């Protein structure tokens, strides 16, 4: 590989400065110019010539320059150390010729190794895990495809790419990167490292300086000084002798420090006193503060956003200058195209389900699963609850890999206890105090949190700050929170003691739609529908109306179209609900009094034995006005009506009969639970609309267009959606009359 001689000279001067700790400059001495001259305190002088030529004649010419000057300097009691540095390895003849005249003929790599063997370090470090970017089962380095994330500059209020971040570090900046768990901070460091190390060059390219040093702070527990951190890092890599050169050169700007996981340094004790816990966090960062005081090169330091109570505490604990530090935060989710790109790298047959969170950690969990498992989990009608189980298990296992402080099951149990606490809080997601986190730990473990266990409590996954300068925490991840709540409700179905305990509480925060579906599937597969109804009756009788409504909604959310759900004169009072969907199945024997809900979906057919009296509903779907409320719904206050999610509301949207039929079939096949829809259930109610007999034609258009397929079922024909078209169908339903989809246009011509 060729290299410009000016670039080589600049590199040699930089390396000489690092080796001897004195400035290296091009100088003319006794009429002879040298590419690098270093004057040492003991009276010695270092003379360096850099050359891109690879022939013995050039070596002999440079040796002659040294020979003439060495005698002149020696007469003045100055001893000269002489080097010829080539960009490639010299031949044995070149080396021997130099040694005969007391001149060291070396390559750039050999020259650089006098203070730091950067290439060996880069090779070894690249093969080791970077922070939490690891396989969730084995803890081995993450090897899955990287989908680039973007970072938000909080001061400049703009987004930056990974390449932009690398540019900031090459320019010598200090960057504080924060973000919630699982948003790709450690993987960012893993991808930055080879970029900054210049890996990918063909041939013996010079090492870029500042050279990156990537340190996992989770391994630096108890370190109190910067040199201790450096020695521990290189010792862990099996390169203990390299630490001395790095420590000597820290103040020269020779290195770019990539410090991942300030939240993983480890507090040795736990306290419920806010001032005390801030002091504990500051003491944990003592070694990092000293390292950043000694280091003069660029720095990236990353960790969880909620670990410190405020930015001011972070700057103080880490020893950063607030004015000169760039503040970046990771975006919590991929865009839909980014997630599609990632999933297509696993399997071309996978579509992005509407329910799938798009966080980097979700992508990582999927990447570690076999292709066929991913395809099963992401089947829109089957995989939602199963995926959540895989996901939360992987998250808890990932936390326990920090150190063996807690088993994954204990981490999950603590989170579940905290999720239950939020059920009765003024805010849906919290807050929970440090004392409550400590109590949850003690309830699961049987002892107060100390030593390594306290570390995980400082950084439990899914939790975030309530606000700046607050030591309270809240659930920042609604997906985990709702799943934990649903998981806990399922546990009540199999534990009478737990059910009795919940029945005595007053909950105000209900399950959201995902939690309803998860709880419904698990209750049906576990204790069964009748036992779940008995659980709802227990909650209603004891006064926890929200818990009773959760069980009812869980069963409704997972009901088949033709399923009859007789709740046996169940009366639920003073309840909160996110969604009460009466369009699923045929409920009866059910009364709600004094209900507060975000969403009420009215049935497509008349109901008997259902009553809702005195309710505050944010939105009623399926009717267009107060006048459309059925007689069994009285004293209903709402902010609005109508949606295109039910047959009744499709009628209200003013669609033609053919388009009404199309929307109904697409909605039932693509966006309701079940792998396939029975023909009888699919076409139920359409006879009142289809006076012209166009339903078979709409079905045929969908079949020939490859959108649905007709399959044989145990009780007659069924229709199954072709899942790769899910996103297309969602767009068509959103656009309705404005849709330009070919199927919409063809149906319009019927």
Whether residues 193 and 323 share a domain: the answer is yes
Residue that finishes a domain, picked among 478, 512, 527: 478
Strand partners, 304: 179
Q: Is 157 a member of any domain?
A: yes
57 has a pLDDT exceeding 60: yes
Quick one: 112 exposed, middle or buried, by C-beta within 10 A (0-12, 13-18, 19+)? buried
Query: Residue 62 in 3-state DSSP?
Result: helix
Whether residues 600 and 739 share a domain: the answer is no
The mean pLDDT value for 388-394 works out to 85
Helix (H) / strand (E) containing 560: none
The Cα–Cα gap between 434 and 448 comes to 13
Whether residues 175 and 94 share a domain: the answer is no
Helix (H) / strand (E) containing 350: none
Give the model's pLDDT for residue 202.
40
The answer to whether 199 and 123 have CB atoms below 8 angstroms apart is no
Structural domain boundaries, residue 737: 654-748
Q: What percent of the chain has pLDDT over 90?
A: 37
How many domains does one find in the chain? Answer: 5
Q: Is 483 a member of any domain?
A: no
Give the model's pLDDT for residue 268.
46
Give 70-109 pLDDT, tens digit per residue.
888 888 888 999 999 998 889 999 999 999 999 999 988 8
Residue that finishes a domain, picked among 626, 647, 668: 647
The mean pLDDT value for 550-562 works out to 91
381 has a pLDDT exceeding 60: no
pLDDT band at 523 (very low <50, low <70, confident <90, very high): very high
Whether residues 101 and 122 share a domain: the answer is no
Whether residues 392 and 417 share a domain: the answer is yes
Residue that finishes a domain, picked among 297, 330, 363: 330
The answer to whether 196 and 213 have CB atoms below 8 angstroms apart is no
Whether residues 306 and 193 share a domain: the answer is yes
Whether residues 159 and 233 share a domain: the answer is yes
Lowest mean pLDDT among 190-204, 415-429, 497-511, 521-535: 190-204
Mean pLDDT over the full length of the chain:
84
The mean pLDDT value for 489-494 works out to 95
139 closest CA partner among 125, 128, 126, 152:
128
A 10 A CB-CB count for 225 gives: 15
Q: Is 392 a member of any domain?
A: yes
204 has a pLDDT exceeding 50: no
730 or 306: whose pLDDT is higher? 730
The Cα–Cα gap between 613 and 590 comes to 11
Whether residues 614 and 511 share a domain: the answer is yes
pLDDT band at 201 (very low <50, low <70, confident <90, very high): very low
Give 397-439 pLDDT, tens digit per residue.
877 765 556 788 888 999 999 999 999 987 788 888 878 888 8
Q: What is the DSSP letter of 42?
A: T
733 or 450: whose pLDDT is higher? 733
The mean pLDDT value for 654-674 works out to 82
247 or 142: whose pLDDT is higher? 247
Give the model's pLDDT for residue 273.
66
Give 2-54 pLDDT, tens digit per residue.
567 888 888 889 888 888 888 899 999 988 899 999 999 888 999 999 998 88
The answer to whether 367 and 420 have CB atoms below 8 angstroms apart is no
Query: Residue 468 in 3-state DSSP?
Result: coil
The mean pLDDT value for 312-334 works out to 90
Give the model's pLDDT for residue 249.
83
CB-facing half-sphere around the CA of 254: CA atoms within 13 A? 27
Give the model's pLDDT for residue 620.
87
Q: Is 21 left (phi over 0), alpha (psi -120 to 50) or beta?
A: left
The side-by-side arrangement of strands in the sheet containing 633-638 is 564-581, 586-601, 610-621, 633-638
Strand partners, 727: none
pLDDT band at 149 (very low <50, low <70, confident <90, very high): confident
Give the model's pLDDT for residue 187.
87
Sign, Cα dihedral of 245, 251, 253, 257:
positive
Q: What is the b/e burial string over 715-736, where b = at least 16 CB atoms within 10 angstroms of the residue's CB?
A: eeebbbbbbebbbebeebbeee
646 has a pLDDT exceeding 50: no
Whether residues 122 and 107 share a domain: the answer is no
pLDDT band at 572 (very low <50, low <70, confident <90, very high): very high
pLDDT band at 649 (very low <50, low <70, confident <90, very high): very low
Sign, Cα dihedral of 515, 437, 473, 598:
positive
Whether residues 188 and 322 share a domain: the answer is yes
Give the model's pLDDT for residue 651.
44
The mean pLDDT value for 713-721 works out to 84
Lowest mean pLDDT among 8-12, 339-343, 647-651: 647-651
pLDDT band at 540 (very low <50, low <70, confident <90, very high): very high
Supply the CATH number for residue 672's domain. 1.10.10.10
Give the model's pLDDT for residue 181.
67
Give the model's pLDDT for residue 8.
85
Q: What is the b/e burial string over 371-404, where b = at least 16 CB atoms within 10 angstroms of the residue's CB?
A: eeebbebbbbbebbbbbbebbbbbbbbbbbbbbe
Whether residues 73 and 102 share a domain: the answer is yes
205 has a pLDDT exceeding 60: no
Give the model's pLDDT for residue 536.
97
Whether residues 177 and 304 share a domain: the answer is yes
A 10 A CB-CB count for 199 gives: 14
């Amino acid at each position: 590989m060729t290299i410009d001689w000016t670039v080589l000279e600049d590199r040699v001067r930089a390396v000489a400065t690092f080796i001897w700790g004195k400035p290296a400059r091009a100088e003319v001495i006794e009429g002879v110019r040298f590419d690098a001259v270093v004057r040492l305190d003991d009276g010695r002088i270092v003379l360096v010539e850099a050359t891109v030529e690879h022939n013995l004649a050039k070596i002999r010419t440079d040796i002659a320059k040294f020979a003439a000057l060495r005698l002149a300097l020696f007469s003045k009691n100055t001893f000269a150390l002489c080097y010829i540095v080539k960009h490639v390895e010299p031949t044995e003849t070149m080396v021997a010729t130099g040694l005969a005249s007391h001149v060291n003929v070396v390559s750039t790599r050999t020259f650089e190794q006098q203070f730091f063997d950067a290439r060996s370090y880069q090779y070894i470090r690249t093969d080791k895990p970077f922070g939490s970017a690891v396989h969730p089962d084995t803890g081995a380095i993450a090897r899955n495809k990287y989908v680039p994330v973007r970072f938000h500059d909080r001061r400049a209020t703009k987004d930056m790419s990974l390449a932009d971040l690398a540019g900031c570090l090459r320019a010598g900046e200090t960057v504080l990167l924060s973000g919630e768990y699982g948003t790709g901070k450690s993987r960012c460091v893993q991808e930055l490292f080879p970029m900054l190390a210049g890996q990918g060059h063909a041939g013996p390219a010079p090492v870029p300086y500042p050279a990156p040093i990537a340190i996992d702070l989770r391994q630096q527990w108890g370190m109190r000084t910067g040199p201790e951190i450096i020695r521990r890092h290189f010792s862990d890599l099996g390169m203990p002798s390299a630490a001395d050169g790095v420590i000597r050169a820290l103040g020269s700007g020779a290195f770019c420090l990539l410090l991942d996981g300030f939240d993983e340094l480890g507090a040795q004790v736990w306290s419920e006193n806010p001032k005390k816990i801030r002091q504990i966090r500051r003491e944990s960062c003592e070694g990092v503060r000293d390292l950043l005081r000694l280091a003069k090169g660029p720095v990236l330091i990353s960790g969880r956003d909620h670990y410190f109570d405020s930015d001011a505490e972070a700057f103080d604990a880490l020893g950063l200058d607030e004015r000169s530090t760039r503040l970046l935060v990771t975006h919590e989710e991929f865009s839909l195209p980014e997630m599609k790109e990632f999933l297509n790298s696993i399997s071309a047959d996978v579509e992005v389900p509407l329910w799938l969170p798009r966080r980097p950690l979700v992508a990582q969990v999927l990447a570690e699963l076999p292709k066929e498992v991913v395809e099963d989990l992401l089947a829109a009608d089957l995989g939602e609850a199963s995926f959540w189980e895989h996901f939360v298990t992987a998250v808890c296992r990932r936390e326990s890999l920090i150190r063996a402080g807690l088993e994954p099951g204990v981490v999950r149990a603590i989170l579940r206890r905290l999720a239950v606490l939020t059920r009765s809080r003024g805010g849906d997601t919290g807050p929970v105090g440090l004392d409550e986190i400590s109590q949850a730990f003690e309830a699961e473990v049987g002892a107060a949190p100390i030593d390594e266990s306290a570390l995980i409590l400082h950084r439990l996954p899914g939790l975030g700050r309530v606000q700046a300068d607050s030591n309270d925490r809240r659930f920042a991840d609604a997906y985990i929170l709702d799943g934990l709540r649903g998981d806990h409700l399922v546990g009540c179905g199999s534990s009478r003691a737990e059910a009795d305990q919940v029945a005595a509480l007053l909950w105000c925060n209900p399950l959201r739609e995902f939690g309803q579906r998860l709880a419904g599937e698990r209750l049906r597969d576990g204790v069964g529908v009748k036992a779940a109804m008995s659980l709802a009756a227990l909650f209603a009788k004891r006064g926890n109306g929200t818990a009773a409504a959760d069980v009812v909604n869980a069963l409704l959310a997972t009901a088949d179209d033709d399923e009859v759900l007789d709740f046996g004169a169940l009366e639920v009072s003073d309840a909160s609900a996110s969604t009460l969907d009466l369009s699923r199945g045929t409920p009866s024997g059910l009364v709600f009094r004094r209900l507060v809900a975000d969403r009420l979906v009215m049935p497509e057919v008349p109901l008997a034995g259902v009553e809702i009296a005195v309710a505050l509903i944010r939105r009623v779907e399926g009717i267009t006005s107060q006048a459309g409320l059925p007689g069994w719904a009285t004293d209903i206050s709402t902010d609005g009506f109508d949606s295109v999610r039910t047959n009744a509301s499709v009628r209200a949207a003013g669609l033609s009969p053919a388009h009404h039929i199309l929307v109904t079939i697409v909605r039932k096949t693509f966006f309701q639970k079940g792998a396939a829809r029975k023909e009888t259930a699919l076409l139920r109610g359409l006879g009142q609309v289809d006076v012209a007999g166009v339903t078979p034609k709409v079905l045929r258009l969908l079949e020939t267009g490859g959108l649905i397929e007709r399959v044989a079922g145990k009780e007659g024909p069924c229709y199954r959606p072709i899942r790769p078209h899910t996103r297309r169908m969602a767009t068509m339903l959103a656009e309705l009359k404005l849709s330009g989809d070919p199927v919409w246009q063809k149906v319009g011509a019927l």
